[in-house]
Structure 1
C-alpha cells in the first residue's frame, strides 16, 4: 500500500531543505578602506605625472618642467620677501637678498639655454638692485655648455634633410665656441659650394641648440612672469620692458634675421668712409652662394682674430691700444648716431681684432654675432644726437625738455651723468652738503630708493624702450675701454659722432640769410663751446694718461676714475648704489 503522505512529506522536506539552504545569508563584501582608495588614486596620478614628465623631458626639451621650476622659485621668493622684508627685521635684509639672489641664480644655472640670455636681460637692471643680485647675475655672460654632435646632426636633418658631411668637406664634431643659443663649428666648403674658387674655404657654421625651438615661448613666458613678480616684489616699475625684450629675444633666435643683419651692417660700413677699410663683417654664405639657408643654421666666412680685451695678444702684434679702442668706439657710435642700426651685444667676444691685411701695423675690427640689433626711430635718434651735443654746449633747457619728453623724472645733473656714464654737472647751483642723504638703516634706504625710482619712472609709457639697449651698449664699451687700461677718450669720441649725427639730422640751410642773425650766431657759439669743451676734456684725459705712465703706483685708468665718481654721485645725490662690474666679462 502506497503512502503518498510520507512521500509528499519527503518531497516537502526536500524542498524545505532546498528553500532553507537558499535562505542562508551570504556574507557581504567589506567596503574598501579610504586609505586604499587614495592609494589607488595616488598610483594613477603618479603614472600620469610620470608619463607627462617623460614626455616633457624626452620630447619637449623639459620646457614645462623648467617653467614649473621657475614658478616654484618665484613663489618662494615672493613669500620670503612678504614675510621677512619689514622694519623689525632690518638687520636681516642683506641675508634675505642673498637667499633670493641665490635662488634666481640656481634657476638660471639649472635651466640654461635661453635663461642665460634672460639672465643677461635681468642683469641690465641688476646695477640698481642690492649687491647680492649684481653678484648673482655677474656670471651669465660666459657660461653656456655645448650640445653633442648627434644633436647637431639632428638639427641638420630636420632643417635641411642632410648630414653635415653631405654639405661640407670637413666638419668639426667638437664646437669651437658655445653660447646660450647656439654653438659654432669649423668646416670647409665642398667643391662648387659657395661659388667658383671657394672650394676648400674654411667657414664657421653656427648651429642653434635644438632645445631652444621648443623652450623659447615657455621661457619667455617665464621671463615675463618673473619680471612681473619683481615689480610686485620690489614695488618698482620693471615689467614695462618685458614685452620689448621678449620680442628682441625672438628675433635673436632667428638665424635668417641674423644673416640679414650682418649683410645690412656690411652695406652700411661700405657707405661710411671713416670705417669701411678698418672694420670688417665676415661674409655670410646663403642661397646665392649655393648654401642652403635655415633659421637654425648659418654659414659664415671664418676669420681669425683675438678678443677686443686680449691686451697681451694685441701687444704681441704691436697694435696700438688707443687706435684699436678708438675704432671699436667709433663703430658703435656710427651705428648709434649715423645709421640708427645698432649691434646690441658688443661684449669682447663679439668684437675681434686682427692685424690689418693691407695697412701694416694697423688694427682691423671684426664684428661677429649679429643676432641682436635694434633700429632707432628717426625722431628718437635725432633727440639722442641733440641730447649728447646739448650736454657739451650746456643747453640746459634742451636737456630738461628731452628728459621730460622721455618721461624721466631726473634732475639735469643726474640725467646728463647717466647718459654719458661719467659725472657731469649742467646745473652748478646745487648744494651738495644740503642734498647729502643721511645715514639710514638698510630697510629705510631701500624703501626710499623704491619711492625715488617710482617717481623717476612714473611716466614709464613715455620712456623709449631703445634706451634699455643703448645704455647697455654704452656700458659695455666703457668696460671694454677699462679692460685695456682706458686708452681711448670714449666720451669725447662718442660726442664727435653725435655731432655728426646732429648735423646730418638738420634739414634746410643754416646760412645767415635762411635762419637770421640770432640763430646763425647761436649756431656759431654752440659750435665753439662744443669744440672748446671737447678740448678741455681731451686735455684732462691726456694728463691722466701721463699720470698712469709715469706713476706706476697710480691705480686705475680714466674710465675707472669716471666710474667711481659716477657711483659716488649716484649714491650722494640720488641714493642709488651702482656697481655694474658684470659688464667687465
Structure 2
C-alpha cells in the first residue's frame, strides 16, 4: 500500500534556493549536475561578443558592398591570395621539390588569374602592368596574363545614367538626340556608347552629328585607391620576401593609372596629339585624331564622361578588311610605325597603348587608295624628359654605327648591367651583335640544370641586371611595351614593314634635331667632322644591309608558300634563342598579339 504525503508536508524549494543546482529523481536514484556560475558567465559573454562581431562585420560588408563598390572586400581577396601564394612558395620552392616547380607556378598563376577575373575593373589594368613582365616569367604566368587584354564586361544603362546625374546633373537624353543603351565597346575602366548631338551642341552645322560617348564605370572611382594600394603592397611584399627588385616601378605605374582614369586628362592628351600631328609634315595628312567636344562646343566636361567625334574604321590588324579596301599592307604598317617613332624620337610624347583596337585604319578621305590612321583612346601617355629622349635617340643610332663605348655608357647611366649584345638586342627586339669578341663555344656552354637551379640563377641575373634600380628610367617600361606591341602588329599583318630600319631612321632624325650648335668643319674640327661623316656612312650602310635581307625574306614569302613566318617572326625566334643562350631567359610574349 502506497501512502501519499499531504501536500502541505512536501518540501518546496524556492527558485533562489535551486540556483546552481538541478535535481533529477527516478525511483530510488538521485543525480545532481551543477553548472558553475563562472562558466555560465563566460558562455554568455562569448555569445554576446559573437553576436556583436557578426552584426559589425555584416554591417561593414553591407556598407562596402552597397556604397563602396566592394573596394575593401576586393583588397581582402588580394591579401588572401598574396598570403596563400607566399606560403606556397616558401614551403615548396626548394631543391627537394625541383620536379614540382612547374606545378607550383601553375597553382600560383591560377590564383592570380582568379583574383583578376573576380575583381575585374582596374585589376585588368594592373594585370596588364604585370603582363609587361610576363615575357620574362615562367610559362604558366604568360598564359595567366594573356587574357587581360580581352574585352571586359559592361555595366547597365541605369548605372550609366547614374554617372551622368552625379557628374553633370543630367540624363544622357538631356544632352543627346539619341543615345545607345547598349555599349558598342567595353574596356576595363570605361565603355563607349554611340550618340547623336542635339542642335544646340557642337556649334553650327553639327546637328545630328554622330559622336562616341566614353563613360567610366561607376565602381572605378571608389575602387581605384584601394586597388592601387593592394598593387603596391603586393609589389612591396614580393620584394621583401623574395629579394627581387619589383617595388621600384610600383609608384610610377600607380601614377600613370590615376591619370588614365581622368577623362579630362585624356581629352587634353588627344588635343595635344592632334596639334603635334599637324606640326609633322610626314604625318600631317595621313594620321587623324578624332575631335573632342568640350566646353567650347557646349558639352560639359567631366573626369568620367568624354564626348568625341565618331570615326568608322577597322582595327590595324584586320588584314581581310584592309585588302577588301585595296589598301597596301606595307604602306599601312609603315605609317603606324612612323607615327609611334615620331612620338618617341621627335615629340617625346607617346601613346602607350598602341594595341590594334586603338589604331584604326580607313581609306584616306582625299588620297584614293591610300590608308589613313585614326588614333583613339588617349588615356595613357608618357612624356619623355629631354635628356632621356636624347640618350634614347643616341642609343638607337649608336647601335647602327657600332659605337660600343657609347652603348655601354648609356647602359651604365641607366643602371643596367647587361652584356652589350643582350642590351642592344633588348632595345631593338631583334638579335644584334655589337661586340664581336665571342668566347669559345665550349666555355659558353651552360650545363643542364633542373628548374629550381635555373630559376635561382635567373633571379640572381635579374638582380645583377637591375643592380642600381634608382637609375633605371621608368619610361623604359612603357617604351619597351610600345615597341613590342608594334612588333606584334607587324607580325599579325605578315611582317610587311622593316620595323627596325624605319624606327632607326626616325631615331636618326631625333638625334640630328637634338644636336646643339653647328657641326661644320670650322666649328667641330677635322677629327669630329670626319667622325660624323663616317658614322653617317656606316649608319646608311647598315640600314641598307638590313633592307636587302628584309627584301629577300619578302620574296621567299611570296614565291615559297611553304615558307612559314615573316621577317618579324624570324627575328623574334632568333631573339628568343639568344636570350635563352646568353641570359637564361625563356621569352614568349604572345600576350601582345591581340
What's the TM-score bracket when you normalise by the shorter of the two chains? over 0.9
Do residues 519 (structure 1) and 528 (structure 2) align?
A: yes
Aligned ranges for residues 146-225 of structure 1 at < 5 Å?
146-225=154-233
> How much has 1:168 moved relative to structure 2?
0.2
Contact 1:410–1:456 (Cα < 8 Å) also in 2: yes
> How much has 1:231 moved relative to structure 2?
2.5
CA distance in 1, matches of 2:46, 2:355: 56
Query: Which residue is equivalent to 1:9?
Result: none
CA distance in 2, matches of 1:480, 1:42: 58
Contact 1:114–1:219 (Cα < 8 Å) also in 2: yes
Indicate how the Cα distance of structure 1 residues 23 and 395 shifts in structure 2: closer, same or farther if over 3 A, else same. Answer: closer
Indicate how the Cα distance of structure 1 residues 520 and 152 shifts in structure 2: closer, same or farther if over 3 A, else same. Answer: same
Do residues 262 (structure 1) and 270 (structure 2) align?
A: yes
Contact 1:234–1:450 (Cα < 8 Å) also in 2: no
CA distance in 2, matches of 1:103, 1:435: 38
> How much has 1:196 moved relative to structure 2?
0.6
CA distance in 1, matches of 2:85, 2:106: 11
> How much has 1:76 moved relative to structure 2?
0.3
When normalised by structure 1's length, the TM-score is 0.94
Contact 1:320–1:362 (Cα < 8 Å) also in 2: yes
Q: Secondary structure at the match of 1:206?
A: strand
Query: Which residue is equivalent to 1:105?
Result: 113
Query: Which residue is equivalent to 2:378?
Result: 370
Query: Which residue is equivalent to 2:7?
Result: 19
Q: Secondary structure at the match of 1:397?
A: helix
> How much has 1:43 moved relative to structure 2?
1.9
Contact 1:437–1:573 (Cα < 8 Å) also in 2: no
Contact 1:81–1:233 (Cα < 8 Å) also in 2: no
Instruction: State which of 73, 85, 98 in structure 1 corresponds to 2:81.
Output: 73
> How much has 1:387 moved relative to structure 2?
0.1
Do residues 570 (structure 1) and 570 (structure 2) align?
A: no
CA distance in 2, matches of 1:431, 1:196: 75
Deviations 1:71-115 (A, max 9, x none): 000000000000000000111110000000000000000000000
Contact 1:385–1:498 (Cα < 8 Å) also in 2: yes
Contact 1:436–1:573 (Cα < 8 Å) also in 2: no
Unaligned runs of 5+ in 2: 10-19, 23-34
Contact 1:78–1:229 (Cα < 8 Å) also in 2: no
Q: Secondary structure at the match of 2:133?
A: helix
Deviations 1:497-539 (A, max 9, x none): 0000000000000000000000000000000000000000000
CA distance in 1, matches of 2:400, 2:557: 26
CA distance in 2, matches of 1:46, 1:20: 51
Deviations 1:356-393 (A, max 9, x none): 00000000000000000000000000000000000000
> How much has 1:36 moved relative to structure 2?
4.1
> How much has 1:126 moved relative to structure 2?
1.2
**Which piece of structure 1 moves more, 231-240 or 349-358?**
231-240
> How much has 1:314 moved relative to structure 2?
0.5
Q: Secondary structure at the match of 1:16?
A: coil
Contact 1:420–1:491 (Cα < 8 Å) also in 2: yes
Contact 1:338–1:500 (Cα < 8 Å) also in 2: yes
> How much has 1:235 moved relative to structure 2?
2.8
Deviations 1:325-364 (A, max 9, x none): 0000000000000000000000000000000000000000
Deviations 1:116-168 (A, max 9, x none): 00000000111111111111000000131000000000000000000000000
CA distance in 2, matches of 1:19, 1:138: 88
When normalised by structure 2's length, the TM-score is 0.93
Q: Secondary structure at the match of 1:410?
A: coil
**Which piece of structure 1 moves more, 422-431 or 539-548?**
422-431
CA distance in 1, matches of 2:290, 2:50: 59
Aligned ranges for residues 420-569 of structure 1 at < 5 Å?
420-429=428-437, 430-569=439-578
Indicate how the Cα distance of structure 1 residues 27 and 62 shifts in structure 2: closer, same or farther if over 3 A, else same. Answer: closer
> How much has 1:225 moved relative to structure 2?
1.2
Indicate how the Cα distance of structure 1 residues 18 and 129 shifts in structure 2: closer, same or farther if over 3 A, else same. Answer: same
Q: Secondary structure at the match of 1:578?
A: coil
Deviations 1:58-78 (A, max 9, x none): 000000000000000000000
**Which piece of structure 1 moves more, 549-558 or 300-309?**
549-558
CA distance in 1, matches of 2:36, 2:549: 104
> How much has 1:563 moved relative to structure 2?
0.5
Deviations 1:28-82 (A, max 9, x none): 99xx253443233212211111111110000000000000000000000000000
> How much has 1:401 moved relative to structure 2?
0.3
CA distance in 1, matches of 2:165, 2:21: 75
The number of residue pairs the alignment matches comes to: 568
Unaligned runs of 5+ in 1: 1-14
> How much has 1:432 moved relative to structure 2?
4.1
Indicate how the Cα distance of structure 1 residues 134 and 69 shifts in structure 2: closer, same or farther if over 3 A, else same. Answer: same
Contact 1:194–1:290 (Cα < 8 Å) also in 2: yes
Indicate how the Cα distance of structure 1 residues 17 and 415 shifts in structure 2: closer, same or farther if over 3 A, else same. Answer: same
Q: Secondary structure at the match of 1:364?
A: strand
Indicate how the Cα distance of structure 1 residues 119 and 18 shifts in structure 2: closer, same or farther if over 3 A, else same. Answer: same
CA distance in 2, matches of 1:103, 1:17: 76
CA distance in 1, matches of 2:53, 2:21: 44
CA distance in 2, matches of 1:449, 1:412: 18
